[in-house]
Amino acid sequence: MPFLELTIACTEAGQPRHERALESVGALAVTLADAHADAPDEQAIFEPGVGQTPLWGEMELTALFEGGTPPELLLHALSAADEGIDWSRARFREVADQDWERAWLDQYEPLKFGARTWIVPWNHELPDGADAPDAAVVRLDPGLAFGSGTHPTTALCLQWLDTLAGDGSLDGAAVLDFGCGSGILALAALKLGAARAVGVDNDPQALTATRDNADRNEVGERLSVHLPDDEPAADYPVVVANILATALVALADVLAARVAPGGRIALSGILAGQEDEVLAAYASAFEQLAVEQLDDWIRIDGVRRATPAS
């Protein structure tokens, strides 16, 4: 069955009001997109920080309605729901019914990171090399949560974990994946030799996706997931946080406290040009801070000091 798609431009301040009106008249789903996605100076919003929902200043809302819904009647209902919005600016089109998530996954190919880490979608056969005895293979169904390995920030973290496995730092270790999304980093750490992993995310849907992916990869008994307020107090020899730079800076003390003395941390989700602020926020608690760049994105990794620098 086809759907009726409505698209309308709005500002960040007006987004909640538009979304409430769309949902009140029966929108099946509402999604947001950058109104200036093609602008060269537009900053991408990749993954919200824990407790954050950052949005673009100007955006487009797209809502799906049941097929056959008359646009004129829908506009009348929207005007009644919120007559202060100019709904005449809305654009309509009919879209075919399809399993959007499956269509995306059908185009997703296996990826290799470092020496032996593989991310392979559920619907794909193992490629050459992924069937090697020492290969660490994560079978992933990202679902609606972030984290498939295709974005440079995730790739940088997977490469870092693969390097840690190579020098033995993951062997039998406990790993914290802060901002876990689909659980891809926690799962990779477990497949690479970690004894257990903890995933933290502010999105309950991400926790569901992480649990599901862990069970499918037969590591569910070694992984626990928590909302930020429910995270157990602990420190870890390995911590990875793939969130926004602003969140990394705001959470510097929190994340530093999660890393055991001599432990390792990787910070990602940082756009090129933002690294100096993040480095400054972590310099007192960490040494051997190193910067790695892939495309326009940065990873910072370091070692927890035994005592903070004065």
What's the pLDDT tens digit per position in 221-254?
999 999 999 998 899 999 999 988 888 999 999 9
Taking 60 as the threshold, does the pLDDT of residue 271 lie above it?
yes
CATH number for 34:
3.30.70
pLDDT tens column, 14-57:
888 998 899 888 888 777 776 654 444 434 333 344 444 444 56
Residue 54 belongs to domain spanning: 3-97
What separation, in Å, do the N-terminal and C-terminal C-alpha atoms of the chain show?
65
pLDDT, position 290: 98
Indicate whether 144 belongs to any domain. no
pLDDT tens column, 101-141:
455 455 567 889 999 999 988 777 898 999 999 999 999 86
pLDDT, position 66: 84
Indicate whether 173 belongs to any domain. yes
Residue 157 sits in the same domain as residue 291: yes
SS3 111: strand
Residue 172 sits in the same domain as residue 257: yes
Task: Determine if residue 82 is labeled as part of a ligand binding site.
Answer: no
Residue 183 sits in the same domain as residue 297: yes
Indicate whether 112 belongs to any domain. no
Name the amino acid, one letter, at 285: A
Q: How far is CA 284 from the centre of its chain?
A: 27
Residue 91 sits in the same domain as residue 164: no
Average pLDDT over residues 278-284: 97
Taking 80 as the threshold, does the pLDDT of residue 97 lie above it?
no
3-class secondary structure per residue, 218-251:
CCHHHEEEECHHHCCCCCEEEEEEECCHHHHHHC
Q: Give the whole-angstrom CA distance, residue 251 versus residue 105.
A: 33
Which residue matches tokens 């497949």? 191
Residue 66 sits in the same domain as residue 183: no
Which residue matches tokens 């030799």? 193
Where on the phi/psi map is residue 127: left (φ > 0), alpha (ψ -120 to 50), or beta? Answer: beta
Single out the residue of 150, 151, 112 nearest to residue 128, CA to CA. Answer: 112
Indicate whether 21 belongs to any domain. yes
Task: Determine if residue 201 is labeled as part of a ligand binding site.
Answer: yes
Task: Determine if residue 179 is labeled as part of a ligand binding site.
Answer: yes
pLDDT, position 137: 95
Between residues 200 and 309, the one the model is more confident about: 200
Length of the chain in residues, anyone?
Answer: 310
Q: Return the number of other C-beta atoms located less than 10 Å from residue 144's C-beta.
A: 12
Taking 70 as the threshold, does the pLDDT of residue 260 lie above it?
yes
% of the chain surpassing 90 pLDDT: 53
Q: Give the whole-angstrom CA distance, residue 144 versus residue 207.
A: 11
Residues paired with 29 in a beta bridge: 64
pLDDT, position 45: 38
pTM of this structure: 0.69
Q: Return the number of other C-beta atoms located less than 10 Å from residue 50's C-beta.
A: 21
Taking 70 as the threshold, does the pLDDT of residue 307 lie above it?
yes
pLDDT, position 147: 52
Taking 70 as the threshold, does the pLDDT of residue 310 lie above it?
no
Q: Return the number of other C-beta atoms located less than 10 Å from residue 168's C-beta.
A: 10
Are the CB atoms for 175 and 236 separated by under 8 Å? yes
Residue 89 sits in the same domain as residue 165: no
Residue 296 sits in the same domain as residue 153: yes
pLDDT tens column, 136-192:
999 986 444 445 556 788 899 999 999 999 999 999 999 999 999 889 999 999 999
Backbone angles phi, psi at 284, to 5 degrees: -70, -30
Number of domains in the chain: 2
Which residue matches tokens 């009140």? 24
Indicate whether 28 belongs to any domain. yes
Residue 69 sits in the same domain as residue 174: no
Q: Within 13 A of 34's CA, how many CA atoms are on the CB side?
A: 13
Indicate whether 81 belongs to any domain. yes
Are the CB atoms for 272 and 298 separated by under 8 Å? yes
Q: Give the whole-angstrom CA distance, residue 68 versus residue 131.
A: 49
Question: In sequence order, which ranges of the chain are alpha helices (DSSP H)?
Answer: 15-24, 71-81, 100-106, 152-166, 184-191, 204-216, 245-250, 252-258, 275-282
Single out the residue of 305, 258, 297, 259 nearest to residue 278, CA to CA. Answer: 297
